[in-house]
Amino acid sequence: MLTRAGWRSEWLVVRRHPLVWAAMVGAIAFLALAAANEAPRNQRELFEAVLRLNLFVPAFVLPVVAGALAPIVFLREVEHGLGELFAAYPQVPRAWLAVRLAVFSALLFATCAALQLVIAGMLTLDYPGHLAALAWLSAELAVWVQLPACLIWSSLLAWLSCARGKSGLVYFAAAFGWAAYLGLATLTGSPLIAGSLVAWQPLRTAMLLADPYAITALVNPPPLAGLPLSREVAMLLGRLGWLAVCLTLLRGIGQVPALNPAHDGATPRSARWSALSAVRQGQAGLLMLSLRWVLRDKFALLAIAGWTLLIFPEVFSGMRYAEPLAVLNPDSRDALNRVMWDLLPALGALVLLYAADRVSRMAGTARLAELVAATPYASWRLIAAQLACLWLVAAALLALTLLIVAAAQLAARSPVALREYLEQGAQALPGLLLAATLFVTLHAVLRSRLVANLAGLVLFVLGHSSVMIAMGLDHPLWKPLNLPLDAPDRVLGLGNNWDVLGGYGPFWVALCAGGLLLAVRLHHRGTLWRQATPVRALLHPLVAVAALLLAGGAWQGARIHQRLVADHALTSADERARRRADYELRYAEWEGRPQPQVAAVLTRVDFAADGRSVELRADLALINRTAAPIARILVGRNQTEVEGDVAIDGASAEARDPYTGQIVLRLARPMQPGDERVLHFAARIRQSGLSGTAGLMILRPQFATVPAFQILPVIGFQRELTLRDPARRGRLGLPPLNVAAPSQMGAATGLLADRQATFETVLSVPTGQSAIAPGELVRQWRSAGRDHFLFRTDRPIRNLPLFAAVPWPAQRWPAGSLTTEIYAPDPVGQDSANLLAMRDTLVWLDRDVAPYPGTTLRLIAAPETGPSGYAFPQGMLISDRRGFRARPAGDAGFDQAYRRAVHETAHQWFGHLLGYGLPQERAFLIESLAKYAELVMIERRYGTPAMQALVDWEADRLAHARLVPAEVTVPLIAAEDTEDMYSRATLAFACLRQRLGDKAIVGALHDLAEMTRQSGHPARSLDFVLALKRRGGMERAAIVDMLLFDQLAIETALQRSGCPVSS
Amino acid sequence: MLEVRNLGKTYRGGVRALDGIDLSIPPGMFGLLGPNGAGKSTLMRTLAAIQLPDSGSIRFDGIDVLADPVALRRRLGYLPQSFGAYPHASCRTMLRHMAILKGLPDDAQTASRIDQLLELTNLTAHADRPVTTFSGGMRQRWGIAQALLGDPALLILDEPTAGLDPEERMRLYNLLSQLSGERVVLLSTHIVDDIEQLCSAVAVVQGGKVVARGETARLVEELAGRVWESAEPVPARSPARHLSTAYRRGQPVHRCFAVSCPGAGFTPAVPSLEDRYFLELHGARPC
């Protein structure tokens, strides 16, 4: 057998199996979709993308391919009843193993190679010059990552096949290995998993060596202390260790599956299994038989054990987690949220897919299908028993999950809230039941077991992955088995999920019920043959009922679609990009034309009683600050798609462009320089609740925020609303963006006044709620059963209004001569981190940099749907979970809640006083300077060790942010990547503080604010650099340049500046 | 009682399993003979209403089987060529389960009938063992027992003696003979002797067609005086049709079909159904 003919013969057999090709094509399609989503903007991003996609292969693709193909290679004789025949052949186990292992490994590696070709081919289309370098990188990854991964999976599955001889166990092992690795990656801060953070440092250190795919060592820098290994040594040791594991597994194979007597399906079973006679017969008997068939499956125990091992640690270790270095006092909602909205629906559907196969194919597996089919037992009763059994399995899975979560809570001494369990359980159950129904329907209609399982798998992938979005089908109704339910938080609660169930539930129930009725008529009764001609099967009253149900589902789907359209929730990112491109192509010529500016905004905002909509009516006072008369005004849609009425007295619409949302208004009487006109705007904005909440626009009965700065119409051509990504601009036919980087900009010519306005706002909210708007609260009254609030600013402020309605009263605290107002679910004490941070920062910046442009700063506890912190003029939103409920973890050197509140407070200066007016100045003057404020405030409040802990944390974040280390970087003042704006800036300012001192930095900030106030022009980052050099002394100017202006890697800049890299 | 008209079935790939089959089967035991791949199992499954034909009709005792398969199934006992069992269920439990599926009430009468069937099939001593632990013969007997549940008017048995030792085979046939009476027992097997002994009527199927049918005795009688045997093979230019070659006590015995003695060394032989079967397979008709 160990001959060329032997291998060739093996390959000839294997290649005839359609699943071999289906697995390869599926893997290639998956990677192609992932690669299509990558849009590298430069060489570094290109190499990062290639690396990331190459690491996707072992982490996401290989286990699935290996699991699918292993039974074909290792178990096909046993699976197809050839075991006995094959056992009679003169087989030498080692020769058998050599051939099968070689072919299986080659199949896996060929798949990896094909995927590498896809990656390289798709990503180098725009970068043909890097083909050779990418080929070399791919070859390195093939040797270090993919080849070992193929060997590991081959050895493991060969051993398992020979030891147990069951394809189900092989599938289970592959799925478990896949999920377990992704779980480990999630806990070790892998960049492959969105939102992954290091939960336990020792685990990550261990994974540097023990990662089977070497991904941890590849994407993390080696530790500075503790385990003195270079990346190469760690990877080499890890590979050798896994090679030893593989050899051990292979040595453990003593017999091929066909010769192993333990795999004989006719092995007598213990008589204890024959106690079925006690079971009641009839429909209940069939149900009980089906249940026993599922539960007596040896994988059921494994699945329960695996489920427990998966859920318990996830909940026990994760429910306290708020963010890095911060923990919660968890409640049942926190505990349940860890698993109920991602793990349970996704893995639960997989479990049900397996159980559906067991239940629906029970008679076939027991080779009783023909006997059962020949009985007069009605098809609907057979299907009903299968469905009932699977529903019970779904309910049991949910109950098991809830029990495990409760056990984890009890183990962690966290209080268990029964009501929360009941409510979340009730919301999660329908999705599982629908999945069960769909799988039973598929098995009832499709005669081929393989096809039915593949169809179920395809539906699962479509419903629980981003494949449909990648294919451009970004519609919730295109995601089967997936109800768009959100994890509840303390602010928004569980209410919206009931609305989602009320909307999507009838749709899926009608479709599933209709499908199920059709399945009753088309049921194959477990045989391989049709039981009735389609015409005869469909000429039945039941089909009319099914048609009615399907029509009802379609009607409900149309209603959902209409509501989503009304919510503007169906506009894809590509569509938005096309609109922006068209906007630029059609209206860029307006960029230089004289246009009026918004000087004042009078707004009336009515939040509806049901909390789902808001009426917005605004009068925008326009002023012509140019030297030329203006006869035509371009009024355009803002960032948020809103259908609103726009009018100017004495003006008529010359042109309307619904696609880009632009209107050209012609004034009957042109605006002369200094003239004012009023633009009237009215809109009703509604959120049905059927689309997930994201961003700042939230309309819920419990809580509402309306970012008017994204809604009110804009005047003239706005460069901020155009595309910036060069590759995307190129694809959409836009010319390169010829904008000078902040490090190369000339003096600013625009006026800050063009971006400022005064505000007067009347808000009406349901009784008992509080309203928030820019300015001071001038008056509050109640009429017509609603509470009204009048806010007014006493001077122009940045034109970035946001309105809110919240269920909590204001908690007011003084901060020097200023006032802070906090809106949060719990009372705020005077030692609260948020209050301390607001007070410290307000007093410091108000005194040392520039006066605060107002008298009150407001802080609102926000739900988890938006950013963790957001500052708008005279107010800010901070996540309730991270900002109000979290406290520092035991090993945290500083308080994240304090840091975040300082950061957002600092934006009142760095963002809303400096750092606007120039589209390209949107990083350094805003985010990086706020990081400087964090350093100063944390050190003053908690001491130097706390400040140093922040520096260390940011250094660690920076080290892990990039897959490919940067040798040359853009100057810090021009950098826009997140890790530059925050982490690199923190390190740079820590060094500047050390070498120049706070006095020089604060002095430079003061100079910048003063210069801005006097000139009325927007500030530039360069102005800050110049001011800092002046304040710091020219002898230290080189340090300023190295840290802020030069294109040096931060480590080099720190070393040359005489600062330690990290403690 | 069972009328089959123009039954046709073609599988994917063009294999014509049934090619216009016409049969009229009266009560009693009816044998179905044919080589492997002749279409016997397809015909049996189609008659059991678990596989649809492409064309034709089937009527059983007034029931249009294709239009109302459930009506047939209420009166059907079916034993497929191969079948399994649930590994966790005992012999008696499986019978109860199948009885419920057949629509029998879960009462003492059914339990009593199950006991009778266990007795009839000689399985009483093994009633509490899982069927999956049975030997091949015991499993076949269990299959017969389940087929007899509900006292079916039509029994379709596809290769029921496969894997049985001679004694069990004999016992099974005795049982079937007792059971036939007013019901139709359709028996498919390769063993021509069995059909000859058990069935009053028979059909030979080849290539999806019925190539011969009729009463067993008549089919054999038609060969009387035309079957010859010899230790020597049939001469090359002889008009005689070679039927079979077998060894008897180590000596070859050649049988052939001819209207007159085909040559020296040939002696007249008593015709059998097997001779008729081979004659039909080889494409000749008795003249």
Q: Which two tokens stand for residue A855?
A: 């008298």
Residue with tokens 């007792």: B178
Answer whether B101 sits within 8 Å of A367, measured CB to CB.
no
Q: Where are the beta strands (DSSP E) in A836-984?
A: 856-862, 869-872, 875-879, 887-888
Q: How distant is the Cα of A537 from the closest Cα of chain B, in angstroms? A: 10
Name every residue whose Cβ is closer than 8 Å to that of residue A748 and which is 6 or more positions away in sequence: A917, A918, A1017, A1018, A1019, A1020
Name every residue whose Cβ is closer than 8 Å to that of residue A646 and which is 6 or more positions away in sequence: A635, A663, A665, A679, A680, A681, A713
Q: What is the pLDDT of residue A45?
A: 82
Cα radius of gyration rounded to whole Å, chain B: 21
Please check the confidence at residue A838 and state whether its pLDDT lies above 90.
Answer: yes
Q: What is the pLDDT of residue A847?
A: 95
pLDDT tens readout for residues A985-1036: 999 999 999 999 999 999 999 999 999 999 989 999 999 999 999 999 888 8
B73, B92, B97: residue with CB nearest A285: B97
Q: Are strands A630-636 and A321-323 parallel, antiparallel or unpaired?
A: unpaired
A293, A372, A532: residue with CB nearest B101: A372
Q: How distant is the Cα of B206 from the closest Cα of chain A, in angstroms? A: 22
Cβ-Cβ contacts under 8 Å, B41 against chain A: none
Q: Which of B88, B94, B107 to mutate to test the interface with A (most CBs of A within 10 A)?
A: B88
Find the closest chain B residue to A271 by CA distance: B129
Q: Which two tokens stand for residue A641?
A: 């798609």
Q: For residues A367 and A371, what is the distance between their CA atoms, to the nearest angstrom?
A: 8
Cβ-Cβ contacts under 8 Å, A271 against chain B: 128-130
B50, B90, B106: residue with CB nearest A373: B50
pLDDT tens readout for residues A487-514: 999 999 988 899 899 999 999 999 999 9
Cα–Cα separations (whole angstroms), residue A887 to A321, A326, A410, A669, A899: 10, 5, 21, 61, 12
| Confidence bin at A226 (pLDDT 50/70/90) | low
Find the closest chain B residue to A524 by CA distance: B50
Which of A185-189, A866-870, B270-274 has the weakest average pLDDT?
A: A185-189
> Is A444 within 8 Å of chain B by CB?
no
SS (H, E, C) chain B: CEEEEEEEEECCCCCEEEEEEEEEECCEEEEEECCCCCCHHHHHHHHCCCCCCCEEEEEECCEECCCCHHHHHCCEEEECCCCCCCCCCEHHHHHHHHHHHCCCCCCHHHHHHHHHHHHHCCCHHHCCCEHHHCCHHHHHHHHHHHHHCCCCCEEEEECCCCCCCHHHHHHHHHHHHHHHCCCEEEEECCCHHHHHHHCCEEEEEECCEEEEEEEHHHHHHCCCCCEEEECCCCCCCCCCEEEEEEEECCEEEEEEECCCCCCCCCEECCCCHHHHHHHHHCCCCCC
pLDDT tens readout for residues A843-892: 999 999 999 989 999 999 999 888 899 999 999 999 999 999 999 998 89
Name every residue whose Cβ is closer than 8 Å to that of residue A470 and which is 6 or more positions away in sequence: A33, A34, A36, A37
Higher pLDDT, A341 or A465: A341
SS3 A138: helix
Q: For residues A72 and A76, what is the distance between their CA atoms, to the nearest angstrom?
A: 5
Q: What is the pLDDT of residue A356?
A: 95
Answer whether B80 sits within 8 Å of A525, measured CB to CB.
no
> Is A999 within 8 Å of chain B by CB?
no
pLDDT tens readout for residues A9-65: 778 778 878 888 888 998 998 888 888 878 787 777 888 888 889 998 999 899 999
Q: For residues A481 and A438, what is the distance between their CA atoms, to the nearest angstrom?
A: 8
Cβ-Cβ contacts under 8 Å, A370 against chain B: 45, 48, 50, 78, 80, 83
Answer whether A533 sits within 8 Å of B83, measured CB to CB.
no
Cβ-Cβ contacts under 8 Å, B86 against chain A: 289, 293, 362, 366, 368
Q: What is the pLDDT of residue A260?
A: 60
Q: For residues A361 and A293, what is the distance between their CA atoms, to the nearest angstrom?
A: 10
pLDDT tens readout for residues A322-353: 998 999 999 999 999 999 998 999 999 999 99
Q: Which two tokens stand for residue A1047?
A: 């294109």
Cβ-Cβ contacts under 8 Å, B88 against chain A: 269, 273-274, 276, 292-293, 296
Answer whether A289 sits within 8 Å of B92, measured CB to CB.
no
Q: How distant is the Cα of B221 from the closest Cα of chain A, in angstroms? A: 37
Cβ-Cβ contacts under 8 Å, B98 against chain A: 371, 375
Find the closest chain A residue to B136 by CA distance: A266
| Single pTM value for the model | 0.78
Q: Which of A166, A267, A277, A361 to mutate to test the interface with B (most CBs of B within 10 A)?
A: A277
B50, B70, B98: residue with CB nearest A529: B50
> Is B10 within 8 Å of chain A by CB?
no
| Confidence bin at A631 (pLDDT 50/70/90) | very high
Cβ-Cβ contacts under 8 Å, A539 against chain B: none
Answer whether A274 sits within 8 Å of B51, measured CB to CB.
no
Q: How distant is the Cα of B87 from the closest Cα of chain A, in angstroms? A: 7
Q: How distant is the Cα of A533 from the closest Cα of chain B, in angstroms? A: 8
Please check the confidence at residue A269 and state whether its pLDDT lies above 70.
Answer: no
* Start-to-end C-alpha separation, chain A: 62
A964-976 average pLDDT score = 78
| Confidence bin at A87 (pLDDT 50/70/90) | low
Under a CB-based contact definition with an 8 Å cutoff, are residues A165 and A70 in contact?
Answer: no
Please check the confidence at residue A270 and state whether its pLDDT lies above 50.
Answer: no
Q: How distant is the Cα of A524 from the closest Cα of chain B, in angstroms? A: 9
| Confidence bin at A471 (pLDDT 50/70/90) | confident
A366, A378, A532: residue with CB nearest B86: A366
Q: What is the pLDDT of residue A2?
A: 53
Please check the confidence at residue A261 and state whether its pLDDT lies above 70.
Answer: no
Cβ-Cβ contacts under 8 Å, A276 against chain B: 88-90, 93
From A145, A153, A148, A155, select the one nearest A247 (Cα to Cα).
A155
Answer whether A268 sits within 8 Å of B50, measured CB to CB.
no
| Confidence bin at A222 (pLDDT 50/70/90) | low
Under a CB-based contact definition with an 8 Å cutoff, are residues A681 and A637 in contact?
Answer: no
A374, A377, A378: residue with CB nearest B78: A374
Mean pLDDT of chain A: 88
Q: What is the pLDDT of residue A751?
A: 84
Q: What is the pLDDT of residue A217?
A: 86
Q: Which of A166, A263, A281 to mutate to test the interface with B (most CBs of B within 10 A)?
A: A281
Q: Which two tokens stand for residue A665?
A: 């208004």
Q: What is the pLDDT of residue A1061?
A: 59
A273, A368, A376: residue with CB nearest B73: A376
Bridge partners of residue A634, in order along the sequence? A664
Q: What is the pLDDT of residue A399?
A: 93
B7-32 average pLDDT score = 91
Name every residue whose Cβ is closer than 8 Å to that of residue A593 and which is 6 or more positions away in sequence: A634, A716, A717
Q: What is the pLDDT of residue B153?
A: 92
Answer whether A282 sits within 8 Å of B51, measured CB to CB.
no
> Is A266 within 8 Å of chain B by CB?
yes
What is the ipTM, given to two decimal places? 0.71
Q: What is the pLDDT of residue A4?
A: 66
Answer whether A269 sits within 8 Å of B96, measured CB to CB.
no
Answer whether B130 sits within 8 Å of A269, measured CB to CB.
yes
From A214, A522, A553, select the one nearest A383 (Cα to Cα).
A522
Answer whether B88 sits within 8 Å of A276, measured CB to CB.
yes
User: For the residues of A192-251, what is the DSSP string, one character each?
Assistant: TSTT--BS-HHHHHHHHHH-TT-HHHHHSPPPSSSS---HHHHHHHHHHHHHHHHHHHHH
A 802-841 residues inside an 8 A Cβ radius of B = none
Find the closest chain B residue to A267 by CA distance: B133
Answer whether B128 sits within 8 Å of A274, measured CB to CB.
yes
Q: For residues A491 and A654, what is the distance between their CA atoms, to the nearest angstrom?
A: 46
Cβ-Cβ contacts under 8 Å, A269 against chain B: 87-88, 130, 132-133
